[in-house]
Structure formats: structure tokens, C-alpha cells
């Protein structure tokens, strides 16, 4: 089978099951299956697929036709200019979450110079987490500001922020062991082992008081009454525990994170959440009572309320 034939066959299979963009998805599958860039498909339409590649493509197309998300099949997803690895057990990073990274980077750029460009000090250890959990965070950077990604999933938010804020260190906290494995793989792939500590824990439990500068989180925020309207790619394959918030207390994850952040953040530190348009106004209203001033709601490019952030008093 040639590349052209593979594209036609895969496109036809995906069209037959009613996927909205069969050609684009066929290109993505054939390119990933061969380990090529998409442009190479156009440049080499007559190249032959090996028997191994053809078998893999058949299996991948069958999985996609059963509505498994493309990112779980190819194990790759783009987020804020980074190619990340993802698979079953971890939420697939979404473009909406890039706004949270932008809010952090905008806030961090306006910090006083002493925090933006801290002096390096030899022989010290970051002290946000107890010594036993410090893992491989680089020594000699005790003055670097520290961000926390609460519910890190594949490490998405922390990794993107650290790539663009080179003086910062990060702590990624995640409850799911499977998700944490993807975060570890991404941290290694991006060479951030010395700047990002990954911990399996329950939200901010165990962080030292006043030891971090920013807490960022995209917690589960889908309400049970919204579940049935979601695509089958989400409801059949992505972890429910990464998506659903309780109907009787939808702000529970936010309240728990805010309570931990109230303790772990230094005064003047940032707390920023991704959320839904239904929860954003409620969250902004509650933040002052939880110890955070000047709550602000930021809309995404579609005009949808997406990020709520505030400053620790
Ligand atoms: C919406 S996903 C966000 C994942 C990732 N930050 C992203 O934006 O792609 C929420 C994440 O929070 C994690 N989580 C849920 N409850 C948690 C808890 N009590 N402590 C730590 N992580 C939790 C889930 O496992 C999931 O990975």
C-alpha cells in the first residue's frame, strides 16, 4: 500500500463512521504511524508502507472509528507550542488551558525584579516540601520563585510555564499514578527534571506555609448534568475523575485547593484557576471569603469565561 492509498483508505473508513474531519485525521494517523511530518505525506505520496506500518495503521483506524481520541492513539498532543505525550489514564491537554499559562506568564512578568531574577545561592534546597519528598529539584536555586500545578495530569501547565519562565521552579501535584507517569515522561522529554518536582498527593496537602509564589490549577469542573452532552471521545475514554465535579457541591475542588493555597502561598502570591462559564462567577464571588483579594475573570478568545485569578492577602 502506498501513502496515497493509505490516506484514501483511512479517510474513507473515518468518513463512514461520521467523523467530521476524516481527511485531516487520516493524515494525522498515517503521518504518526510512519513517524513523519504531515508535509512528508504530500512530498512522498508513492512511498510504500511496510507490512508492520500497514498493520499498525489498520489497528489505529479501527480504534479511531470506535471514537478513541486521536491523541490517545498517536500518544502525542500539542500544548502551548510543546509536543507532549499523553495516553489512557490522563486527561488530554486542551487549548483552553493555554489561557491559564498566559495569565501566569503575564502576572510573573510584572513581579518585582528581585522575584523575577533571583540571585542563585549555592548549597541551598527549596524548602516548600519536606526533605523526603524533594526528589531531584536542583540545588542552589533556593531563591527561585516556585509555582504549583495542582492536578497536574500530564504536567501540561507546569511544563509550559517553566519553559517560558526560566527562573521559576515548579511542583506538580497529582492524585492519579497513571497520569503522573505521563507527567514524568514529559518532564524528561523536555529536560525539566531539575526544575519540576512531581508528587502524588491530594491537592496541596503537606506543602509548607508561605513557601510558594503561585498556585495554578485546572481541576475537574464538568457538572453531572453536562456529561451526556459531551463527545463520546470524552465520556468513553477520558478519566471521569479528571473531569467531573460533584453536583451537590461543584466548587468543592476549588475550595479545597484555595484552602491549601491560602496556607502554602506567600502574601501577594497568585492563585489562578481554569473553570467553566457556569462556575466562574460563583468562584470569583467566593474567593475573597477564602482569603484572596481582587478576583478577576478572564474570557478566552471565544468570549467564554475561562480563568479566575486572585491574589493571596
Ligand atoms: C481537568 S484535569 C487537568 C489536568 C492537567 N492539569 C491539564 O490541564 O491538562 C484535573 C486533574 O486533577 C487531578 N485530581 C483530581 N482530584 C485530585 C486530588 N484530590 N488531588 C490531586 N489531583 C487531583 C485529576 O487526576 C486530573 O489529572
- Answer for the pair 226, 250: CB distance below 8 angstroms, yes or no: no
Ligand 1 center–CA 56 separation, angstroms = 31
- At residue 152, the pLDDT reads 98
> Closest Cα to residue 257, out of 297, 222, 225, 212?
212
Q: Whose CA is closest to atom 19 on ligand 1?
A: 202
Report if residue 281 sits inside a domain: yes
CATH code for the domain in which residue 27 is found: 1.10.8.10
Q: pLDDT band for 9, please (50, 70, 90 cuts).
A: very high
Identify the CA nearest to 84 among candidates 150, 155, 33. Answer: 155
Instruction: Tell me, yes or no, whether 248 and 100 share the same domain.
Output: yes
Is residue 22 one of the residues assigned to a domain?
Answer: yes
Distance from the CA of 175 to the center of ligand 1, in angstroms? 7
Q: Which of 66, 98, 113 is the last residue of a domain?
A: 66
Q: What is the mean pLDDT of the chain?
A: 93
pLDDT band at 143 (very low <50, low <70, confident <90, very high): confident
Report phi then psi at 186, rounded to 5.
-70, -40
Reference 196, options 271, 266, 146; nearest CA is 146
173: Cβ below 6 Å to ligand 1?
yes
- Does 293 lie in the same domain as 204? yes
Residue 81 has pLDDT above 90, yes or no: yes
Mean pLDDT of 264-273: 97
Whether residue 260 has pLDDT greater than 80: yes
Q: 177: which residues sit within 8 A by CB, 6+ positions away?
A: 200
Average pLDDT score over residue span 161-179: 97
- Residues 131 and 61 grouped into a single domain: no
Q: Is residue 72 part of a domain?
A: no
Do 105 and 52 have their domain in common? no
pLDDT tens figures, 229-242: 999 999 999 999 99
**Closest residue by Cα to residue 135 from 184, 208, 186:** 184
13 and 161 belong to one structural domain: no
Atom 6, ligand 1: which residue's CA is nearest?
152
Residues 256 and 167 in one domain: yes
pLDDT recorded at residue 171: 98
All three cell numbers of 99, joined, read 489561557
215 contacts 269 by C-beta, under 8 angstroms: yes
Res. 94 pLDDT band, cuts 50 70 90: very high
Quick: pLDDT tens for 14-44: 999 999 999 999 999 999 999 999 999 999 9
Q: Is the pLDDT assigned to residue 120 strictly greater than 60?
A: no
Q: Are residues 111 and 231 in the same domain?
A: yes
- Residue 127 CB less than 6 A away from ligand 1: no
pLDDT above 60 for 142: no
Q: Looking at the structure, do residues 55 and 102 belong to the same domain, yes or no?
A: no
Find the 258 Cα to ligand 1 centroid distance in Å. 15
Cα of 151 from ligand 1 centre, angstroms: 3
Average pLDDT over residues 60-79: 98
Name the residue with the closest Cα to ligand 1, atom 17.
175
Together in a domain, 52 and 103: no
83 lines ligand 1 (CB under 6 A): no
Considering the domain architecture, whether residues 236 and 201 belong to the same structural domain is answered as: yes
**Residue 47 structural domain:** 3-66
> Is the model's pLDDT at 119 over the cut of 60?
no
Q: What is the pLDDT of residue 113?
A: 74
Same domain, 105 and 219: yes
Which of the residue ranges 102-106, 109-113, 166-170, 282-286 would you say has the lowest mean pLDDT?
109-113
Spacing, Cα 201 to ligand 1 middle (Å): 11
Mark whether 108 and 234 lie in a shared domain: yes
* Comparison of pLDDT for 88 and 138, the residue scoring more: 88
User: pLDDT tens across 279-295, in order?
Assistant: 999 999 999 999 999 99
- What is the pLDDT, as a whole number, of residue 146? 97
Specify if 37 maps to a domain. Answer: yes
Scored b (16 or more CB within 10 A) or e, 2-33 reads ebeebbebbbebbeeeebeebeebbbbbbbbb
Return the H-helix or E-strand segment holding 106.
helix 98-109
Total of domains in the chain: 2
Dihedral angle over CA of 206, 209, 211, 216, nearest 10 = 70
Q: Which of 134-138, 259-263, 286-290 has the lowest mean pLDDT?
A: 134-138
Mean pLDDT, rounded, for 189-218 = 97
Q: Is the CB of 147 under 6 A from ligand 1?
A: no
- Ligand 1: residue of 220, 243, 246, 273 to mutate (most ligand atoms within 8 A of CB) is 220
The domain that contains 106 carries what CATH number? 3.40.50.150
Pocket flag, ligand 1, residue 172 (CB < 6 Å): no
Note whether residue 54 is domain-resident.
yes
* d(C-alpha 187, C-alpha 160), whole Å: 10
305 lines ligand 1 (CB under 6 A): no
Handedness of CA 217, 223, 226, 228 (dihedral sign): positive
- Find where cell 508492520 sits: 52
Amino acid at each position: 500500500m502506498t501513502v496515497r492509498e493509505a490516506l484514501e483508505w483511512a479517510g474513507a473508513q473515518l468518513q463512514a463512521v461520521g467523523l467530521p474531519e476524516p481527511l485531516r485525521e487520516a493524515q494525522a494517523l498515517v503521518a504518526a504511524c510512519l513517524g513523519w511530518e504531515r508535509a512528508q505525506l504530500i512530498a512522498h505520496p508513492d512511498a510504500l508502507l511496510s507490512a508492520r506500518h500497514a498493520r499498525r495503521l489498520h489497528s489505529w483506524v479501527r480504534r479511531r472509528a470506535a471514537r478513541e481520541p486521536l491523541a490517545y492513539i498517536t500518544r502525542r498532543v500539542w500544548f502551548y507550542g510543546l509536543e507532549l505525550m499523553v495516553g489512557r489514564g490522563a486527561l488530554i491537554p486542551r487549548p483552553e488551558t493555554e489561557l491559564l499559562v498566559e495569565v501566569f506568564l503575564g502576572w510573573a512578568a510584572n513581579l518585582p525584579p528581585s522575584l523575577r531574577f533571583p540571585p542563585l545561592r549555592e548549597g541551598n534546597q527549596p524548602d516548600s516540601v519536606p526533605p523526603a519528598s524533594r526528589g531531584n529539584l536542583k540545588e542552589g536555586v533556593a531563591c527561585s520563585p516556585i509555582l504549583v500545578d495542582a492536578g497536574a495530569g500530564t504536567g501540561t501547565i507546569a511544563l509550559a510555564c517553566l519553559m517560558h519562565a526560566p527562573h521559576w521552579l515548579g511542583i506538580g501535584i497529582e492524585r492519579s499514578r497513571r497520569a503522573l507517569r505521563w507527567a514524568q515522561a514529559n518532564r524528561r522529554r523536555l529536560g525539566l527534571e531539575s526544575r519540576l518536582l512531581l508528587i502524588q498527593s491530594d491537592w496541596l496537602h503537606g506543602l509548607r506555609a508561605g513557601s510558594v509564589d503561585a498556585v495554578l490549577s485546572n481541576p475537574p469542573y464538568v457538572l453531572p448534568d453536562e456529561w451526556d452532552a459531551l463527545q463520546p471521545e470524552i465520556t468513553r475514554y477520558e478519566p471521569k475523575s479528571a473531569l467531573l465535579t460533584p453536583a451537590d457541591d461543584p466548587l468543592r475542588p476549588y475550595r479545597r485547593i484555595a484552602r491549601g493555597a491560602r496556607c502554602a502561598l506567600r502574601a501577594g502570591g497568585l492563585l489562578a484557576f481554569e473553570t467553566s462559564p457556569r462556575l466562574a462567577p460563583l468562584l470569583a464571588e467566593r474567593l475573597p471569603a477564602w482569603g484572596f483579594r481582587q478576583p478577576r475573570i478572564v474570557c478566552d478568545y471565544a468570549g467564554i469565561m475561562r480563568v479566575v485569578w486572585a491574589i493571596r492577602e
